[in-house]
């Protein structure tokens, strides 16, 4: 990518409007000082003393964090939190991202708890944090119909104002999160009503049964969807990605860890960008969300598919080198890689 193209693409981010529909959760980090460990008088078990608590939006919020880091002008989170303390904390964390985050499509409901990842970290001097067993809070019952209806209404209104929409399904159990069958039907209708709107989909449970919108997945998810074996060659993955794009009538993006990222479109044109070299310790948490955010922002800003892939790979490289947090990549950090 040339310096001029990098600048031309990223200079448009400030005027972008991006809707993010999905499971927003609270990432709460408990920083523990091992030197202050005690023993409980009541249980005789070790006591971990927390010396600092930091919170940030997680799940779909990780995509939002990356969009903020890129300097996107208007970001519309579409989702919910509970009326619990974690919900208050999540809303505060979202608002703290700045005026670019427009909160009119995000709401609190007493029908659900706030999706929370609580991450205890042992903070060792001179080396990366050591993550202990995570404590998660999730919803285990189907999403109430009234909440689904409210989410669908907000998604439609956000889409009407957006240049690009991202849909992220973060939950493990179907129908317990934002992305239900009813919402997917509504997303399909939105795509038909707004055919020029790029809608980029990602789901940790795979994209089987989703409407024909732009798919972003990893190689394992592509295999689960198409029957592609795990040891498939790059050319086989490329051909399978192309066939899926033809079937969907929409572009498909496939991340392949150290082999980089592939893309194909229904017009029959494919592209590939390699993964960038790593240095020192890495943590892959959040890399996929950074890829999603950068693909959406770049494509909505007029990037060619190959250029969007290169930006996404640079973002992933920045994020995996951030230890002890779910990181982000700024335009300045991307520029240091792509136009040094």
Residues 6+ apart with CB under 8 A from 277: none
| Kind and range of the H or E run holding 57 | strand 50-59
**Distance from C-alpha of 61 to C-alpha of 48, rounded to nearest angstrom:** 28
Looking at the predicted structure, is the pLDDT value of residue 325 above 80? no
For residue 281, what pLDDT is reported? 84
Place of tokens 């009326």: 83
- Digit-coded pLDDT (tens) for 77-103: 999 999 999 999 999 999 999 999 999
The confidence band for 340, taking pLDDT boundaries of 50, 70 and 90, is low
- Digit-coded pLDDT (tens) for 270-321: 999 999 998 888 878 889 999 999 999 999 999 999 999 999 999 999 999 9
Residues 6+ apart with CB under 8 A from 257: 218, 219, 275
What DSSP line would sit under 306-336, residue for residue?
HHHHHHHHHHHHHHHT-TTS-----HHHHHH
**Distance from C-alpha of 165 to C-alpha of 68, rounded to nearest angstrom:** 15
Looking at the predicted structure, is the pLDDT value of residue 167 above 90? yes
**Distance from C-alpha of 144 to C-alpha of 141, rounded to nearest angstrom:** 9
- Digit-coded pLDDT (tens) for 31-47: 999 999 999 999 999 99
For residue 269, what pLDDT is reported? 86
Residues 6+ apart with CB under 8 A from 105: 19, 76, 77, 78, 79, 154, 155, 157, 158
- Digit-coded pLDDT (tens) for 224-236: 999 999 889 999 9
- Digit-coded pLDDT (tens) for 234-272: 999 999 999 999 999 999 999 999 999 999 999 998 999
Please give the CATH architecture assigned to the domain spanning 3-338.
Answer: 3-Layer(aba) Sandwich (3.40)
Q: Give which of 134, 139, 140, 146 is closest to 107, Cα–Cα.
A: 146
- Digit-coded pLDDT (tens) for 177-225: 999 999 999 999 999 999 999 999 999 999 999 999 999 999 999 999 9
Cβ proximity of 57 and 201 under 8 Å: no
Cβ of 332: how many Cβ atoms within 10 Å?
10
Q: Give which of 49, 184, 44, 60 is closest to 120, Cα–Cα.
A: 49
Q: On the CB side of 195, how many CA atoms lie within 13 Å of its CA?
A: 2
Domain residue ranges in the chain: 3-338
Q: Structure pTM?
A: 0.94
- Digit-coded pLDDT (tens) for 124-160: 998 889 999 999 999 999 999 999 999 999 999 999 9
CA Rg value for the chain: 20
**Distance from C-alpha of 259 to C-alpha of 257, rounded to nearest angstrom:** 5
Looking at the predicted structure, is the pLDDT value of residue 30 above 90? yes
Cβ proximity of 257 and 219 under 8 Å: yes
């Amino acid at each position: 990518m040339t310096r001029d193209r990098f600048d031309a693409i990223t200079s448009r981010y400030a005027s972008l409007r991006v809707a993010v529909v999905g499971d927003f959760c609270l990432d709460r980090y408990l920083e523990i000082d091992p030197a202050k460990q005690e023993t409980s008088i009541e249980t005789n078990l070790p006591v971990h003393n927390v010396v600092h608590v930091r919170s940030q939006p997680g799940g779909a919020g990780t995509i939002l964090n990356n969009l903020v880091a890129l300097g996107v002008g208007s970001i519309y989170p579409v989702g919910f939190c509970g009326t619990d303390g974690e919900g208050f904390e999540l809303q505060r964390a979202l608002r703290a991202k700045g005026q670019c985050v427009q909160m009119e499509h995000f709401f609190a409901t007493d029908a659900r708890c706030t999706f929370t990842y609580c991450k205890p970290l042992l903070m060792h001097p001179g080396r990366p944090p050591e993550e202990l067993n995570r404590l998660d809070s999730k919803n285990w019952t189907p999403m109430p119909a009234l909440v689904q209806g409210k989410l669908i209404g907000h998604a439609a209104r956000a889409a009407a104002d957006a240049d690009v929409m991202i849909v992220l399904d973060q939950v493990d159990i179907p129908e317990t999160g934002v992305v239900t069958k009813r919402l997917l039907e509504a997303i399909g209708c939105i795509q038909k009503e707004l055919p020029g709107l790029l809608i980029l989909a990602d789901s940790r449970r795979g994209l089987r049964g989703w409407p024909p919108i732009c798919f972003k997945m990893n190689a394992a998810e592509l295999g689960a969807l198409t029957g592609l074996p795990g040891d498939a060659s790059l050319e086989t993955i490329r051909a399978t990605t192309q066939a899926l794009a033809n079937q969907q009538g929409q572009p498909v993006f496939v991340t392949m860890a150290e082999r980089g990222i592939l893309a194909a479109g229904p017009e029959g044109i494919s592209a590939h960008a390699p993964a960038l070299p790593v240095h020192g310790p890495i943590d892959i948490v959040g890399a996929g969300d950074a890829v999603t955010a950068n693909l959406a922002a770049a494509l909505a800003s007029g990037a060619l598919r190959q250029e969007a892939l290169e930006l996404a790979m640079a973002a992933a490289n920045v994020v995996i080198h951030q230890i002890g947090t779910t990181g982000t990549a700024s335009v300045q950090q991307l520029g240091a890689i792509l136009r040094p």
